[in-house]
C-alpha cells in the first residue's frame, strides 16, 4: 500500500509503515489572559478535501497496522454470530387488543416490529400470559407494523427514532435518521391499509406523542445546536405549515421533551437542564388546549411527576430534591400532591443518604419504586388500597451483582408487571411479576448458543481506596479456572459523568475475551450515579478530577492486589468516558498497556468555550462555564487531554470516531491523535479509525456492530498478548 498527500504518507514498501503526519497550522486562542496555540484546529473543517484525505490516510494506516489481526477479527465475529440466535423474537407485550413484539431474522441487520391479536377467550392472568410464539414459524394473525430492513434499504446508516402507536392502534408514527446526525424524518402509516400517509415532517427530534383521539401528534424540533427546544402540534392530513408551536424554550441550558402518562389522562411537557426541571400538563382529551405548569422551575431543583389515582382522587407522585426539613434532599424524596394543587405536597418517602430514589411508575392498583442502594439497582412494589398506600415489598435476587428494572408495561390496568434482570454472567431474563401473589414468572432468557453455562464464570465486587479515603466500587467478571497466583490481562472500563451508572449486564460478545483469559472490570468512579447524587456531585465541574484519580486508584488497586499488572492492563472508555481515559493517559500512562477510546471527548475546553457548537451551553452545568469563569477555565485547562499531551511514553492507543457525530465531533480525537503523534515518545502504536458514515453510536446494523466489536477486541487481545489464545 502507498499513499502520499500533503497531510500524511503511508508506505509498506520494504516492510516500512510510516504514520500520517498532520500538518501544523498554528491558531491562537486567548481566554482569561491565557494563550493556547492550537496546531491542529484546521482539522475541524470536514468539508475540506484535505481533512477527508487525512482521515482516510489514518484509516489506511490503522488497517495496515492491524492487518495481522484480520483472522482474529473474523474468528471473534464468527464466535459472536455463532452464540447469537439470529432468528428470534422478543417477549410479546400486551396493549389493548394486541400482543406487540419484534422479530429478528438471520442475515438481516435490523429488527421487524409486529403484532398479533389477543385470544379473546383468555381471562385473568391467562389473558396476560404471552403466547408461546415459535421462532421462524408463521404466527396466526401476525401483522408487520414496520420492517426496518426495508426502510433502511439503500442507506449506509439507519437509526429508528420514534415508534409510536395511536391510542386506537390504527396509526403508527415513526421517524428515521439515515445520516447519523440525529435529525429525523417523521412519517405516518395507516395500519389498517398498510399505506403511508402524505404527512411527512423533516428535521425532528426522535419522539412522537399522540393525542387521545388520534387526530393530532406532538413532536419536537431542535435548534442549530441540536438542542430539542420546541414542541409542535400537527393535525393529521394538514400541511406542516399549519403546525402549531405549543411550547418553546429559549434558554439554551434546557432540553424539551413531551410524552403522556400511563393512565393516558394527561400529556406532559418536560423542560430540563442538568440541574433544574419543570413540568407542564394538559388533559389528553383536549389536545388543542393550553399546557399549564406543574411546579415553576427553581434553579437547582429537579422533579418528576407521575399520575396516580389514590383513594379515588387524581394525584401526582412527585420525586424531587428540594429542601425538606431544612436540608436539601440530595438523593430525592417522594411526595404526594393533588393534581389540582401540586404544590400541596406530603412526603411519602423521606431522604436517605444511602438510597438514591430514581423513578416511580404508577398503575391502577400498584406503584413500582426504582432506587439504588450499595451501587446496585432495586425495585419495590407498592400496592394501592381503597384508603391509600399499602406495604412496600422489595424484590430480591440471589446474585452478588445484578441490574434490575421495569420492562414494557404500557397498560394502566394490568395484573402483572414486566421486569428485566441481568448480570455479568446472567443473560437478560424477562419476568412477569404478579403483585397479588408475589409470583415471579420467567417468560424468557436471552438465548446464548454453543452451550453457555453461567457456572463457568464468576463475578465479584471489589473496592479501591483513593488518596482522600473514598471507597470506589469495582465490578469484575472472569472465567473460572484462571491462575489466581499470577496477574491476569484485564480490560478496565469507566465512564463517570452525567450521573450515569454502569450497571452489571450480560454481553455475548464479551465472552470472546473472557474465554481467552481476559478479566473485565468496571470502575464505578465519581461523576457517575452508582453511589447516589453526591457521588455525581463530587465528580463534576470543579471536582471533575476525582473521576480521573478514582480510575487511577482502581487500576493501582487491581495491580497491587495481583489481579492484573501494568503490562496487561487496558483502559476503556467512550464519549465522556473517552475524556476519562484520555486524562488518565496523561496522568498515569505507566499503569496501562493500552487505551481504547471510543468517540472520545478529549478536547473538552475548546468545545465548551464555543457556544455555537452542538449542545455546548447545555453542558455548562456539567463542566462549568469557562467563558465566564476563569477558575473553571483554568481547571479544565489543567485536565483536558488534548491540551496536556506531553513528550513522554504513552501506552498503545486506539481512538475510534464517526464523521457525522453531533455529540462529540470527530475533530476532537483527530486533533488528539495528531498531537500525540507529534509529541509523545516511545514506539507504542497510535491509531485513529474514523467511521465515514456514522454518528455518535457508531456503525448501524447488528452485523456491522459485531464487526466493529471484533475489531476492538482483537486490538485489545493483541495489546495484552492474547491474540493467539
Once rounded to an integer, what is the mean pLDDT over residues 512-533? 98
Of all residues in the chain, the percent with pLDDT exceeding 70 is: 97
Residue 78 has pLDDT above 60, yes or no: yes
- pLDDT score at 226: 84
CA angle 314, 316, 317 (to 5 degrees): 130
Once rounded to an integer, what is the mean pLDDT over residues 529-537? 97
Count CB neighbours of 614 within 10 A: 22
For residue 536, what is its C-alpha cell? 455525581
Task: Let me know if 341 is a catalytic residue.
Answer: no
Residue 229 has pLDDT above 50, yes or no: yes
For residue 308, what is its C-alpha cell? 396516580
φ, ψ for residue 362, nearest 5 deg = -110, 135
Task: Let me know if 460 is a catalytic residue.
Answer: no
Radius of gyration of the chain, Cα coordinates, nearest whole angstrom: 26
The whole-angstrom separation of Cα 173 and Cα 267 is 17
Show Cβ contacts of residue 77 under 8 Å, excluding neighbours closer than 6 positions.
Answer: 706, 707, 710
Is residue 555 within a helix (H) or strand (E), and if so which, with residue range?
Answer: helix 545-560
Strands 652-658 and 569-574: unpaired
DSSP state of 126: G
Once rounded to an integer, what is the mean pLDDT over residues 205-222? 95
- pLDDT score at 694: 66
Q: Which value, to the nearest 10 degrees, does the dihedral of the CA atoms of residues 504, 510, 516, 520 take?
A: -30
Count CB neighbours of 542 within 10 A: 12
| Closest CA relative to residue 576, chosen from 552, 550, 544 | 544
Query: Is the Cβ–Cβ distance between 415 and 125 less than 8 Å?
Result: yes
- pLDDT score at 7: 45
pLDDT tens string 555-611: 999 999 999 999 999 999 999 999 999 999 999 999 999 999 999 999 999 999 999
pLDDT tier at 3, thresholds 50, 70, 90: very low
Task: Find where cell 404527512 sits.
Answer: 199
Once rounded to an integer, what is the mean pLDDT over residues 638-645? 98
- Return the SS3 of 414: coil
Query: Is the Cβ–Cβ distance between 339 and 314 less than 8 Å?
Result: yes
- By CB atoms closer than 10 A (0-12, 13-18, 19+), residue 401 is buried
Of all residues in the chain, the percent with pLDDT exceeding 90 is: 88
For residue 402, what is its C-alpha cell? 445484578
Task: Find where cell 408487571 sits.
Answer: 417
Once rounded to an integer, what is the mean pLDDT over residues 138-163? 92
pLDDT tens string 462-478: 999 999 999 999 999 99
Strands 184-190 and 195-204: antiparallel
CA angle 533, 538, 540 (to 5 degrees): 100
Residue 613 has pLDDT above 90, yes or no: no
- Return the SS3 of 577: helix
Task: Let me know if 696 is a catalytic residue.
Answer: yes
**What domains sit in the chain, N to C, each tagged with a CATH number?**
305-446 (2.130.10.120), 461-719 (3.40.50.1820)
Query: Is the Cβ–Cβ distance between 502 and 528 less than 8 Å?
Result: yes
Q: Which of 38, 164, 696, 700 is catalytic?
A: 696
Of the listed ranges 5-9, 174-178, 376-380, the least confidently predicted one is 5-9
pLDDT tier at 698, thresholds 50, 70, 90: low
Output the CA torsion sign for 106, 108, 109, 114: negative
Q: Which of 38, 177, 661, 718 is catalytic?
A: 661
* DSSP string over 309-328: EETTEEEEEEEE-SEETTEE
- By CB atoms closer than 10 A (0-12, 13-18, 19+), residue 678 is middle
Q: Which of 553, 575, 607, 658 is catalytic?
A: 575
The whole-angstrom separation of Cα 595 and Cα 604 is 18
- pLDDT score at 9: 47
DSSP state of 695: B
Once rounded to an integer, what is the mean pLDDT over residues 32-60? 96
Q: How many residues does the chain have?
A: 725
The whole-angstrom separation of Cα 414 and Cα 421 is 20
Once rounded to an integer, what is the mean pLDDT over residues 398-415? 95
Show Cβ contacts of residue 462 under 8 Å, excluding neighbours closer than 6 positions.
Answer: 473, 474, 475, 476, 557, 558, 561, 563
φ, ψ for residue 477, nearest 5 deg = -145, 140
Residue 641 has pLDDT above 90, yes or no: yes
Query: Is the Cβ–Cβ distance between 270 and 220 less than 8 Å?
Result: no
pLDDT tier at 16, thresholds 50, 70, 90: low
| Closest CA relative to residue 41, chosen from 579, 681, 610, 646 | 610
pLDDT tens string 316-358: 999 999 999 999 999 999 999 999 999 999 999 999 999 999 9
The whole-angstrom separation of Cα 191 and Cα 677 is 56
| Closest CA relative to residue 442, chosen from 462, 458, 428 | 428
Count CB neighbours of 131 within 10 A: 16
Query: Is the Cβ–Cβ distance between 164 and 173 less than 8 Å?
Result: yes
- pLDDT score at 391: 92
The whole-angstrom separation of Cα 694 and Cα 691 is 6
Strands 388-389 and 376-385: antiparallel
Residue 50 has pLDDT above 50, yes or no: yes
- pLDDT score at 134: 78
Mean pLDDT of the chain: 94
Q: pTM to 2 decimals?
A: 0.92
- Long-range pairs for 321-326 at CB < 8 Å and ≥24 separation? 321/533, 322/298, 324/350, 324/351
φ, ψ for residue 130, nearest 5 deg = -60, 140
Amino acid at each position: 500500500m502507498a499513499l502520499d498527500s500533503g497531510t500524511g504518507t503511508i508506505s509498506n514498501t520494504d516492510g516500512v509503515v510510516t504514520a500520517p503526519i498532520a500538518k501544523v497550522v498554528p491558531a491562537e486562542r486567548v481566554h482569561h489572559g491565557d494563550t493556547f496555540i492550537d496546531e491542529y484546529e484546521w482539522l475541524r473543517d470536514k468539508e475540506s478535501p484535505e481533512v477527508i484525505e487525512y482521515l482516510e490516510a489514518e484509516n489506511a494506516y490503522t488497517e495496515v497496522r492491524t492487518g495481522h489481526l484480520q483472522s482474529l477479527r473474523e474468528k471473534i465475529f464468527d464466535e459472536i454470530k455463532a452464540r447469537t440466535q439470529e432468528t428470534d423474537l422478543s417477549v410479546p407485550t400486551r396493549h389493548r387488543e394486541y400482543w406487540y413484539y419484534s422479530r429478528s431474522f438471520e442475515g438481516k441487520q435490523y429488527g421487524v416490529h409486529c403484532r398479533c391479536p389477543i385470544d379473546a377467550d383468555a381471562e385473568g392472568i391467562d389473558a396476560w400470559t404471552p403466547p408461546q410464539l415459535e421462532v421462524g414459524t408463521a404466527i396466526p394473525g401476525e401483522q408487520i407494523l414496520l420492517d426496518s430492513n426495508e426502510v433502511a434499504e439503500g442507506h449506509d446508516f439507519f437509526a429508528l427514532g420514534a415508534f409510536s402507536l395511536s391510542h386506537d392502534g390504527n396509526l403508527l408514527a415513526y421517524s428515521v435518521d439515515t445520516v447519523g446526525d440525529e435529525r429525523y424524518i417523521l412519517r405516518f402509516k395507516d395500519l389498517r391499509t398498510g399505506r403511508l400517509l402524505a404527512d411527512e415532517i423533516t428535521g425532528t427530534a426522535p419522539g412522537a406523542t399522540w393525542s387521545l383521539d388520534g387526530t393530532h401528534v406532538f413532536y419536537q424540533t431542535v435548534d442549530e445546536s441540536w438542542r430539542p427546544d420546541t414542541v409542535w402540534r400537527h393535525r393529521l392530513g394538514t400541511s406542516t405549515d399549519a403546525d402549531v408551536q405549543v411550547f418553546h424554550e429559549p434558554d439554551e441550558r434546557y432540553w424539551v421533551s413531551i410524552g403522556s402518562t400511563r393512565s393516558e389522562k394527561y400529556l406532559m411537557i418536560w423542560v430540563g437542564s442538568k440541574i433544574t426541571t419543570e413540568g407542564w400538563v394538559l388533559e389528553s382529551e383536549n389536545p388543542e388546549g393550553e399546557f399549564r405548569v406543574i411546579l415553576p422551575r427553581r434553579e437547582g431543583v429537579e422533579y418528576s411527576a407521575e399520575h396516580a389515582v389514590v383513594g379515588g382522587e387524581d394525584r401526582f407522585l412527585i420525586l424531587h430534591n428540594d429542601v425538606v426539613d431544612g436540608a436539601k434532599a440530595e438523593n430525592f424524596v417522594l411526595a404526594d400532591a393533588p393534581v389540582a394543587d401540586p404544590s400541596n405536597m406530603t412526603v411519602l418517602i423521606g431522604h436517605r443518604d444511602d438510597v438514591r430514589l430514581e423513578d416511580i411508575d404508577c398503575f391502577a392498583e400498584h406503584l413500582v419504586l426504582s432506587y439504588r442502594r450499595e451501587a446496585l439497582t432495586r425495585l419495590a412494589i407498592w400496592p394501592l388500597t381503597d384508603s391509600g398506600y399499602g406495604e412496600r415489598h422489595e424484590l430480591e435476587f440471589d446474585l452478588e451483582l445484578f441490574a434490575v428494572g421495569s420492562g414494557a408495561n404500557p397498560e394502566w390496568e394490568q395484573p402483572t408487571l414486566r421486569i428485566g434482570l441481568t448480570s455479568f454472567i446472567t443473560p437478560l431474563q424477562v419476568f412477569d411479576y404478579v403483585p397479588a401473589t408475589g409470583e415471579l414468572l420467567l417468560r424468557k432468557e436471552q438465548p446464548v448458543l454453543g452451550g453457555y453455562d453461567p457456572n463457568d464464570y464468576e463475578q465479584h465486587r471489589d473496592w479501591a481506596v483513593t488518596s482522600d479515603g473514598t471507597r470506589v466500587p469495582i465490578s469484575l467478571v472472569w472465567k473460572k479456572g484462571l491462575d489466581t497466583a499470577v496477574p491476569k490481562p484485564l480490560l478496565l472500563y469507566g465512564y463517570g459523568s452525567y450521573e450515569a451508572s454502569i450497571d452489571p449486564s450480560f454481553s455475548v460478545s464479551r465472552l470472546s475475551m473472557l474465554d481467552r483469559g481476559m478479566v473485565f472490570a468496571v470502575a464505578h468512579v465519581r461523576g457517575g450515579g452508582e453511589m447516589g447524587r453526591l457521588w455525581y456531585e463530587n465528580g463534576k465541574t470543579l471536582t471533575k478530577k476525582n473521576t480521573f484519580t478514582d480510575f487511577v486508584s482502581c487500576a493501582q488497586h487491581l495491580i497491587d492486589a495481583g489481579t492484573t499488572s501494568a503490562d496487561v492492563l487496558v483502559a476503556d472508555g467512550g464519549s465522556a468516558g473517552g475524556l476519562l481515559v484520555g486524562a488518565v493517559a496523561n496522568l498515569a500512562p505507566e499503569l496501562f498497556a493500552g487505551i481504547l477510546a471510543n468517540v472520545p471527548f478529549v478536547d473538552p475546553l475548546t468545545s465548551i468555550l464555543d457556544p455555537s457548537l452542538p449542545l455546548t451551553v447545555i453542558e455548562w452545568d456539567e463542566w462549568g462555564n469557562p467563558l465566564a469563569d476563569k477558575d473553571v477555565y483554568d481547571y479544565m485547562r489543567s485536565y483536558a487531554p488534548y491540551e496536556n499531551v506531553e513528550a513522554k511514553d504513552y501506552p498503545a492507543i486506539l481512538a475510534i470516531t464517526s464523521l457525522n457525530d453531533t455529540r462529540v465531533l470527530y475533530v476532537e480525537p483527530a486533533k488528539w491523535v495528531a498531537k500525540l503523534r507529534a509529541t509523545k515518545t516511545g514506539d507504542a502504536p497510535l491509531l485513529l479509525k474514523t467511521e465515514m458514515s456514522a454518528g455518535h453510536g457508531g456503525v448501524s446494523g447488528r452485523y456491522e456492530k459485531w464487526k466493529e466489536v471484533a475489531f476492538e477486541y482483537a486490538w485489545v487481545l493483541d495489546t495484552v498478548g492474547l491474540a493467539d489464545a
